[in-house]
Structure 1
Amino acid sequence: MPRLAEAAYSEQPWLIHELASDFAVEDVWSFRTPGAGPDDFPVMLAALRAAGGPVKQMWPVRFLFAVRWKLGALLGWDKPSVGVGERVASLRDRLPSDIRAASPGPDDDDMPLKAVYELDMEAARELANKTVHTVMHLGWIRGVNGDYELRMAVLVKPNGWFGRLYMAAIAPFRYLIVYPALTRQWERAWAGRSR
């Protein structure tokens, strides 16, 4: 699971650059998808959906998410009044009208991030709460070995000093537990799809 430099994200001609230029790039990761071709991005997205979201992760990740959502409920971090469409406008509002008119892609109650758009080679999902407005961007790109691979960028706009402190506090958990588990789940989803 290679963590990549920000340039691996910023050098690509993706739509998300126009929509989220006021967000900071927090993380960029690459996921192996052996044998993938240029038209396989929808196949990968279907495999990810079939693999499930956070509720289908291994117990340490489920535990971390459960603690986070419990804290959020107790402290009011996740109230609808601080979410997308309330505290912050959805990135869907920034889309060109032809893309905004199309389906953003399916949403799932088990996935806290909601669809912004889904195109042939990229997709974006967002979440906002009292701490941050965040975007998970998925892109499909030719890797160094010639196969296509999945790239994920996490973009954030912290909500003031509290949001910056929150992002710093959760960084070790993301790097040591969440992203390694996510990588295993997503790479297994691709491998399982090919059988």
Structure 2
Amino acid sequence: MKLPDAAHTSRPWRIHEITPDFRLYDVWALPTPGGPDDFPLLIQDTVGGDTSHSPSWIARTLFAIRWKLGGLLGWDGEDSGVGRRVPTLRDRLPADLREGPTGPVFKTLPFKSVFLTDDEWASEIANKTMHGVMHMSWVPDGKGGYRGQMAVLVKPNGLFGKAYMAAIGPFRHLLVYPPLMREIDQTWRAHGAHGVRGT
């Protein structure tokens, strides 16, 4: 379920300290009801994600087209990524976060972990269109339990980046996020059925 920006901005997340020049694009409540100790499971699911295995053929097709275009137009070359076109956000971390855990390594998605706390995890991605952050958190659900929350923050790369982000907006909201939420829901329910997560 899409949430108002305040669901992210009103919380004292550490990510606010290092992304003042990024724009908040999306905030989503994730269908991941659980207990206070289930955040690592959400992180595990996220780093194991693969767009080519999405159950939605529309989402698979859109991502395949995006990666193909990126390859043809040079959007995703090594010189455009984190540490090359843009410095990693780890360079902005305060000492306590820099000395803490970075977070896990993604298996296939082109993200790099920035920092990890007990209830907050940030990862970043960069190409010739933008520098983006996926912020995952673990929040009380108001019913005595917890759930995941995802925020997407972006710093577009110039006018081209702004135009690109505006152009893909409808596709993200209509064709990418709905099947992604269903996939997250199915995976999380499977964890519960196998007794992997808490209550």
TM-score interval, smaller chain: over 0.9
Partner of 1:191: 189
Secondary structure in structure 1 of the residue aligned to 2:32 = coil
Aligned length: 192
1:56 to 26, 29, 53: 53
CA contact (8 A) 2:47 2:107 kept: no
- Cα distance in 1 for partners of 2:152, 2:137 equals 11
**Within the alignment, does 1:123 sit opposite 2:121 as a pair?**
yes
The CA deviation at 1:43 is 2.2
Q: Secondary structure at the match of 1:111?
A: coil
Question: What is the aligned counterpart of 1:110 among 108, 111, 118?
Answer: 108
- The Cα offsets for residues 29-74 of structure 1, whole Å up to 9 and x where unpaired, read as 001223x122211122224445x33122122111111111111111
The Cα RMSD (Å) is: 1.5
Distance 2:63 2:53 in 1: 11
Hey, what's the Cα distance between the residues in 1 that align with 2:180 and 2:190? Answer: 15
The CA distance in 2 between the partners of 1:49 and 1:115, in whole Å, is: 9
- Hey, what's the Cα distance between the residues in 1 that align with 2:109 and 2:186? 19
Separation of aligned partners in 2, 1:178 and 1:33:
18
| 1: CA distance, partners of 2:138 / 2:112 | 19
Off by >3 Å, runs of 4+ in structure 1: 47-50
Q: Which residue of 1 is the match for residue 31 of structure 2?
A: 32
**In the alignment, is the contact (CA less than 8 A) between 2:32 and 2:184 conserved in 1?**
no
TM-score of the pair, normalised by structure 1: 0.92
Q: What residue identity is the alignment partner of 2:164?
A: Y
Deviates more, 1:106-115 or 1:17-26: 106-115
- Share of identical aligned residues, percent? 50
Alignment check: 8 A CA contact 2:47 2:104 kept: no
Compute the TM-score of the two structures, normalised by the length of structure 2: 0.90
2:120–2:135 Cα contact (<8 Å) kept: yes
Q: Which runs of 5+ in 2 are unaligned?
A: 194-199
Q: Is the 1:47–1:193 contact (alpha carbons within 8 Å) kept by the matching residues of 2?
A: no
C-alpha deviations, 1:76-117, integer Å up to 9, x for none?
111111111011111111112343234422223411121112
> Partners in 2 of 1:121 and 1:164 — Cα distance?
31
